[in-house]
Amino acid sequence: MSLPVKKKVITFFKKKIDENTLKQKKHFFLSFAYFIESFRAYRRIKSFVYNLIENDQYPYKKYFDFFMIIVILTSVTLLVIDVKHHIPVWIDELDLYVVTSILILEYLARMWVYSDVHKIVIDEYEESRFFDKRLSFFHLFWKIFQNKWGYISSFSAIIDLIAILPSYRSIRILRVLILFRAFKMLRYTKSLNGFIYVLKNKKFELMTLLTLVAFFIFIAGIMLYVFEGDNKNPNIHNLFDAFYWALITISTVGYGDIAPVTPEGRVETMVIVIIGIGLIAFGTSLIVASFNERMSVLREEKVIVNVSRKKSLIVICGYGLLGRLVAKGLQKEGLEFIVLDKDENLVSQAFNSGYNTICTDASQGEIFVKLGIEKRISHVLCLTSDDIQNAFIAINVKSLNEKVHVTVRCSDEEIAQKMEFAHIDQVIMPEEIAGMMSAVYAGEPVAFEVLLSIIEEKEKTQIDEITITRGSFLEHKTIGDVNFDSYRLILLGIFTSKDNGKTLGEFLFNPSDDYYLHVGDRLVCIGYSAAIANLKKRM
């Protein structure tokens, strides 16, 4: 082998080895990324941290927020005390290390949950494989950096960073930056979002206002400087003084440290004070209007947080005559429910009655998803006065989760038939109910009045149901053994158990004395409310 050829071979192998190590390294990163992707505990921890620091709907976030507020308040309090009193070194160091560590940890955690690095790695790798090109480390890190930069450069992250800085005690002026920690507190209340929302929402109007104010200050300042700047007014030394005066006057604050002395100056003042009042009124109304718009959103969020603590939830769609009565009844029964309606007036009525209420279109899926249709909602009652709207809502709900029990109010019999076709659990026709009641009344008026007064709970005697539970003293007993007379109850009948007591089976009216009671059987009894409560308690 000649020398040049040997050299070539060696360089070839060297190159090969380099590529191999690179591949191996890449391989390590990739497999790590895939490992994390499949590591469920990691994902669980990450989503927990995310919920804790970022998710307003998460019930435990408020404890985290409260903790951070306490930490910051401590830090700010120390700053204030430090102005006139000496703080022991150990407290100062505690503040320095503990608070700073907490803040740094929080900053890093926020950066961590901002995005998934391993996903970027995997995506990039898969893309490179697809296009069959080399994946360079530089490119990969650049992508990751770009992604995280999105967090680092965000407004709130910058404030977070500035809030960490005062820890460098050597630079005294930085201590004032502790106040940024106070500013940071806004993050832990929902106000910051609200405020930023207002600024964004009314950006155009606020910019117009600001330009106008700047323009008036500019003109007024120069005018006053021209009128009084030439030593006529001892307080105006330069243009800055004149602009300062213009702002203080136009904002109607009017300190009076600089006041016009010439008649021209005074006339000018009169004009800009009037302009100032106008501008302030304009600005205030802008912000108030925007906050008002925001209020409904905030209220909605609050309601969703409220109901997210409930285990089971009934949704009433429509707060008309019927919706109102049902809401009242459910409240009396102590059941958890939420009212949805499109009409703002009705919503505010429901809200004033103290119910959880959201102004929304219930025929859209979004609201039900927000309310937790998969786990929380047990029943949806469609009670608007419009049959078609009710059908729309019912089908919306059923398409999201078939298991939710849906009741639809309906006036038209043909629509009622279609509802049954759509597997709606219950169709209620107010006119039909009134019709049936009237017909019964025509036949047996007295008997009917009795029943009605029992059903409507106008008397102390009530009709109620008692389910036989496993291990209760009634299990495997016969009706004769129980002796309902001794409980002062009238046994009307029994629903036999079906599907392990989940649904009602056959109705046995006035069962004979030798009927054996089974688990899941439901007794329908009439009696004094205390007597029913007594038997229920014994169960």
Partner 1 sequence: MVDKKNIFLFGYGNFGRQLYKNLFLAGHNIKVLTATAESIVNAQEDKVDLIQINIKRNDDILSLNIDQENDMLYCAMSKTANNLFLVLTLRALFPYANIIAISNSLENTRKLKYAGANSVIDLYEATSRRVINILTKPAVTRAIDEIIYKQNNLKMAEVIIPPTSFLVGMYVKDIAFKSMGVVLVAIIDKESEHELVFTDQRLSQQLEAGETLVVVSKIDDLKIFKDLVHSETHPFVSH
Binding site for partner 1 (CB under 8 A): 314, 321-322, 325-326, 328-330, 333, 335, 379, 381, 383, 407, 409, 411, 426, 428-451, 453-456, 459, 461, 463-465, 485, 488-493, 495, 504, 507, 509-510, 513, 522, 524, 526-528, 531
Closest distance of CB 39 from partner 1, Å: 44
Separation CA 239–CA 482 (nearest Å): 100
**Residue 358 exposed, middle or buried by CB count within 10 Å (0-12, 13-18, 19+):** buried
Nearer to partner 1, 298 or 504 (CB): 504
Three-state DSSP at 242 gives helix
Least distance to partner 1 from the beta carbon of 398, Å? 17
Supply the minimum distance, in Å, between the C-beta of residue 365 and partner 1: 23
Cβ closer to partner 1: 79 or 531?
Answer: 531
Please state, in angstroms and as integers, the Cα–Cα distance from residue 331 to each residue in 84, 150, 288, 385, 406, following that order: 57, 47, 34, 22, 19
The smaller minimum CB distance to partner 1, of residues 283 and 520, is found at: 520
What is the C-alpha separation between 123 and 119, in angstroms, rounded? 6
Least distance in Å: CB of 471 to partner 1?
Answer: 21
CA distance 455 to 457: 5
Which stretch of DSSP H or E encloses residue 309?
A: none
One-letter-per-residue 3-state SS of 375-394: CCEEEEEECCCCHHHHHHHH
Looking at the Cβ atoms of 113 and 427, the one nearer to partner 1 is: 427
| Nearest approach, Cβ of residue 117 and partner 1 (Å) | 49
Judged by beta carbon, residue 279 or residue 427, the one nearer partner 1 is 427
Q: Measured from the CB atom, is 95 or 521 closer to partner 1?
A: 521
Q: How far is the CB of 35 from partner 1 (least distance, A)?
A: 49
Residue (185 or 327) nearer to partner 1, CB:
327
Q: Which of 385, 380, 370 is nearest to 301 (CA)?
A: 370
Closer Cβ to partner 1, 281 or 455, answer by number: 455
> Is the distance from CB of 314 to CB of 376 less than 8 angstroms?
no
**Which residues are CB-neighbours of 312 under 8 A, at least 6 positions away?**
336, 376, 378
Amino acid at site 197:
Y
Distances (CA, A) of 487 to 223, 350, 450: 96, 41, 21
**Min separation Cβ 368 and partner 1, Å:** 18
Nearer to partner 1, 283 or 318 (CB): 318
**Rounded Cα gap, residues 245 and 224, in angstroms:** 9
What does the alpha-carbon distance between residue 173 and residue 152 come to, in Å, rounded to a whole number? 24
What is the DSSP track for 112-130?
A: HHHS-HHHHHHHHHHHHHH
**Least distance in angstroms from the C-beta of 451 to partner 1:** 6
Least distance (Å) between residue 61 CB and partner 1: 32
Name the minimum Å distance from CB 340 to partner 1: 16
Residues in the chain: 539
3-state SS assignment for residue 470: coil
Using the minimum distance from each CB to partner 1, give the nearer residue, 419 or 531. Answer: 531
